[in-house]
Amino acid sequence: MAAVLVIEDDPRIRASVAERLAERGHHVETAHRAMDGIRLAVSGQFEIVVLDLGLPDLDGSEALQMIRAVSDVPVLIATARDDEAGIIQLLDAGADDYVTKPFSADHLEARIRAVLRRRSGAEDENTVISVGDLSLDVGRREARLGDELLDLTAKEFDLLAFLAERADHYVNKRELLAGVWHQPYGGADKTIDVHLSWLRRKLGETAAEPRYIHTKRGVGVRLSAPMP
């Protein structure tokens, strides 16, 4: 549960996001103009800001810069733009993460939790992410399948955690390179494929018969609980 500021000009999205987050126990305030939003964002009252990129009075990226000039409050960008280069620029400019519209409340909340966890040093000992029988203890950096502790390398754990935090959503290679390998400008796709195949082996599955790790050509990879 967190104090969340939602800066969004679309009244329907604003109301529904606020309502859904409040239902989940968060304290939510909203602003519909960038300037009001920035003033609230830097006030120190909020643990995280969800910032719409398309605002009437100021472009969201400018709003981000103005917030960042005076505050390091976590900022989660909400964007309808499917523009990788623009998104990477925003991440470089200090956004903590982004969600692409339309997004579900569950997805938004998962991203909020992930950002707060990362910001707190990720070392919240009680943080366990579960996907089916797979559970990841983020603080201890341990992954289990059922009762069995998986023998993962540091990178394999990072990759699995990145996918688990985004369970049921496809993540593209660019995002994996930026988020897991810290190479926002691209790199060897092969690296990802190799790590995925190692992970698959350790999870006891193959690309031909996936259980947890699903890849879709040209889209990306997603982690999901196996069908019962």
CB of 78 to Ca ion, least distance (A): 8
Residues linked to residue 6 through DSSP beta bridges, in sequence order: 30, 50
Q: Closer CB to Ca ion, residue 52 or residue 158?
A: 52
Cα(115)–Cα(103) distance, integer angstroms: 16
* Min dist. Cβ of residue 187 to Ca ion (A): 33
Least distance in angstroms from the C-beta of 186 to Ca ion: 29
Q: Which is nearer to Ca ion, 51 or 171 (CB)?
A: 51
Distance in Å, CB of 174 to Ca ion, minimum:
24
Name the residue nearer to Ca ion (CB basis): 60 or 179: 60
Residue closest to Ca ion, measured at CB: 54
Q: Report the phi/psi class of residue 218: left, alpha or beta, with left for phi > 0 and alpha for psi in -120 to 50.
A: left
Q: Based on CB atoms, which residue is closest to Ca ion, 24 or 32?
A: 32
How many CA within 13 A on the CB side of residue 108?
A: 31
Distance, CA of 79 to CA of 137 (rounded, Å): 30
On the question of a cis peptide bond just before residue 56, with omega within 30 degrees of 0, the verdict is no
**Closer residue to Ca ion, CB minimum distance, 40 or 138:** 40
- Show contacts of 40-46: CB within 8 Å, 24+ apart: 40/5, 40/7, 41/5, 41/7, 41/67, 41/71, 41/73, 41/75, 42/67, 42/70, 42/71, 42/73, 44/71, 44/73, 45/3, 45/5, 46/3, 46/4, 46/5, 46/73
Q: Minimal distance in Å, beta carbon 40 to Ca ion?
A: 17
Distance CA 115, CA 96 (A): 7
CB of 64 to Ca ion, least distance (A): 14
Chain residues in the site for Ca ion (CB under 5 A): 9, 52, 54
| Closer Cβ to Ca ion, 100 or 172, answer by number | 100
